[in-house]
Structure 1
Amino acid sequence: MSKAERKSETSARALRRLLKALNEPGARAAPSGLDDGALVVAAPRNGITLVRARLPVATGEAALAEGLVEGDRESRGGRLRLTEAGRAYLRRAAAAEVALDPFRAQHGEFEKRPGEEGARPAFVNDAESPLAWLARRKGANGRPFLDWAHVEAGERFRRDIEQAQILQRVTANWEVSAAGTRRCGEAGVVVTEIAMDARSRLARAFDAVGPELAGLLTDVCGYLKGLEVVESERGWPARSGKVVLRIALDRLAQHYGLASAAVGPAQAKGLLHWGAEDYRPTV
């Protein structure tokens, strides 16, 4: 690598560091005030303002020239804040690290989710997930409509659908490995062992929730259909879809053994007592 290339790489790393620091809630960048040519990024945390990064002023000037940051009109002293273009830049940079399409990633909110044993992690776009949207909505009591167990069960179901390869593909699949695969007799397509395992898990989940609710879960978690679309297709009354979806997620979470809280003696049936070899229970 030449000297110019090393300098360019160093500048790019400094730019990403600046944008990452400014991406924190309430973060702002301003000259240090010590006449040392430094730019300081500070952000509030637990009621205390902390310094998150210290970078050359030239890095801030480069980000400002590219429109990645802008002057904060609500404050004085030339403070900078992150723009939407800067957030898109960060998403593209993160996508390059995990081999996602960078221009697709900049319009989404991808999060790395672990796969089942032997499967590669999946990157889920929370911006297109109806469950993520419902989890952010709050009911009349001020609590989220879906709790952790609902969202986790739905995402696990969604991950199995993707790994099972049961949805119609609109592009060619270049990721199938010749090793560890089976050939489906009906269509002659190659199915991986991971897909076969995922289909087995889906079959058990379908049996647990029932055919009607399984179809709803497939529409929402697999095809990512909004509830208004589901209600229109099924002829349901408005705003009834989320009630049925919650019932379906309740059954699905119960099937997966997920719960937001352990309550009642029934939750302790699987507990064991660990003792020495000569331990005897008191009768």
Structure 2
Amino acid sequence: MAERRTERVEVEIEGVRSLVAVDLEESPLGWLARRKGRDGAALVSGAQLVAGERLRADFTRAGMTPRLTSDWSAVARSANRNAAGLSIPEAALAARQRLSRALDAAGPEFAGLLMDVCCFLKGLEQVERERGWPARTAKVVLALALDRLARHYGLAEAAHGPERTRMRAWKAGEAGESG
């Protein structure tokens, strides 16, 4: 059996930061993040990858993945709590709410594409075929969708702020005085 290639990515959900293993062989975003464009930059940036994987994590936590067989584990134990102190049904509901807010922020133009690529793990060629788009169109539209999603999550490639800020205090000790 071939070993799966995973990468650890830091994700923050509702103030809780955690490292998540991303299966780069499974995710279309992982594949795009490893590929370089003509300019030498990755086709999907780090912020875009984290945003897409965060959407997928909420989709999975919400229990929205399609099942191929019957689920006989329907007895949910409400006494079981996760790290945030939520029961399993509460955690699933919270994940659905986060997913809904993220897709609303992406807008109706991008929500379906984000669901297809990030959550249902469809490749770009399949998306283009299903939607009747010209070749290589999905890559451009996906980049725009992931940018909007990253902005919703507050993710950026670099921190930006003012060049200079007002000096608030300047204090120097006298000779022989320590800090």
- Classify the TM-score, shorter chain: 0.7 to 0.9
Q: Is the 8 A contact 1:109 1:127 kept in 2?
A: yes
Match of 1:247 in 2: 144
Structure 1 letter corresponding to 2:78: A
Match of 1:217 in 2: 114
3-state SS in 2 of match to 1:132: helix
| 2:96 aligns with one of 199, 205, 214 | 199
Name the TM-score, length of structure 2 as normaliser: 0.74
Name the TM-score, length of structure 1 as normaliser: 0.48
Distance 1:170 1:139 in 2: 37
Match of 2:28 in 1: 130
Task: Find out whether 1:140 has 2:64 as its counterpart.
Answer: no
Note the C-alpha offset of 1:123.
Answer: 5.0
The verdict on how the C-alpha distance between 1:156 and 1:169 changes in structure 2, with shifts beyond 3 A counting, is same
Task: Find out whether 1:256 has 2:153 as its counterpart.
Answer: yes
Q: Give percent identity, aligned residues only.
A: 50
Distance 2:23 2:74 in 1: 20
Q: Is the 8 A contact 1:161 1:198 kept in 2?
A: yes
Q: Is the 8 A contact 2:23 2:30 kept in 1?
A: no
3-state SS in 2 of match to 1:214: helix
Note the C-alpha offset of 1:168.
Answer: 1.4
The structure whose residues are more often strand, as a share, is 1
Across the two proteins, how many residue pairs are aligned to each other? 157
| 1:179 aligns with one of 65, 75, 78 | 78
Q: Is the 8 A contact 2:55 2:99 kept in 1?
A: yes
Match of 1:164 in 2: 62
Q: Is the 8 A contact 2:52 2:118 kept in 1?
A: yes
Q: Please list the CA deviations of residues 85-124 of structure 1 after superposition, one character each: whole Å capped at 9, or x if unmatched.
A: xxx5xxxxxxxxxxxxxxxxx4533456677579x98654
Structure 2 letter corresponding to 1:108: R
Match of 1:27 in 2: none
| 1:229 aligns with one of 123, 126, 129 | 126
Note the C-alpha offset of 1:142.
Answer: 1.1
RMSD across aligned positions (CA) = 3.2
